[in-house]
Chains A and B, each alone.
Chain A
C-alpha cells in the first residue's frame, strides 16, 4: 500500500527555521496537507494544497513541493510550535487517504 515517509524527529532552537520533509511517489500528482497536533488535542490543519495557509495560521508556517517530496517550513520557531506534525495526501488514483508517520518537533 502507498506510504508517506517523514523523519521521526526534528529539533531546533527558538527563532531558527524548522523544515520537515515528507516523501511519497504520488506527491507529484496529489496535493499534500500538513497538520499540527499537540498532546491530548485533535490535529489542526496548518497547510493545504501543498502551500496554502488556512486563515488563522501564522505566516511563519509555509509549505513547498518538489517532485516526490513536500516540505513544511516553520520560520522563527516559537516554543508553542513544539508538537507532532503529520503530512497527508492521497494515492495516485485518489481512492484513499494516507498520513505520514509523523514528526515530533522539539524546540530546544
Chain B
C-alpha cells in the first residue's frame, strides 16, 4: 500500500513562493505519476501538474508559467513550487498518485491548507 505524507508552509505573503513536498511510503516510485492537485475553499478540484519517475513533467496550461514540480527518486519524494502567489492561490493542496496502468488517483496526501495574506 502506498501512503503519501506532505508538508510545507501554510501561510504565505502575496508575491511569495509556495513550496510543498510529498514523501511516498511503500509502493514503487516508478509505478505512478505523481501529481499536485488543489481545491480552493468551497470549490472544485484543480490539477496543477505531475512528474514521473524519469523526471518528465506536465503542467496545467493555466498555471504552467508559475509552476515547477521536481522529484527525488532516491528519497521517494516530489515537490511543488508555485511562484508569485495571490489570494487566488489560496486552497487545500493535495499530492496524489495516479497508477501508470490507468488505475486513477489511487492515493492522496492528507492535504495542506495554504493561506495567502499580507
Contacts and interface: CB of A to CB of B under 8 A. Distances in A.
Interface of A: 1, 31, 33, 35, 37, 42-43, 45, 48-49, 54, 84, 86, 88, 95-102
- A-B pairs with lowest CB-CB distance, top 7: A48-B104, A42-B108, A97-B47, A102-B44, A33-B104, A99-B45, A45-B104
Interface string B39-74: 000001111011000000011111000000000000
Q: What size tier do the contact residues of chain B reach?
A: 20 to 34
A98 B59 CA distance: 11
A33 B105 contact: yes
A96 B60 contact: yes
- Chain B contact residues: helix, strand, loop or mixed: strand
B58 A102 contact: no
A2 to B, nearest CB: 9
Nearest to A100: B44
B47 A98 contact: yes
Contact of B102 (A48, A84, A98, A102): A48
A1 B104 contact: no
B31 to A, nearest CB: 15
Interface centre among B45, B50, B94 (most CB of A within 10 A): B45
B103 interface: yes
B111 interface: yes
B102 A96 contact: no
A57 to B, nearest CB: 11
Contacts of B104: 33, 35, 45, 48-49, 54, 88
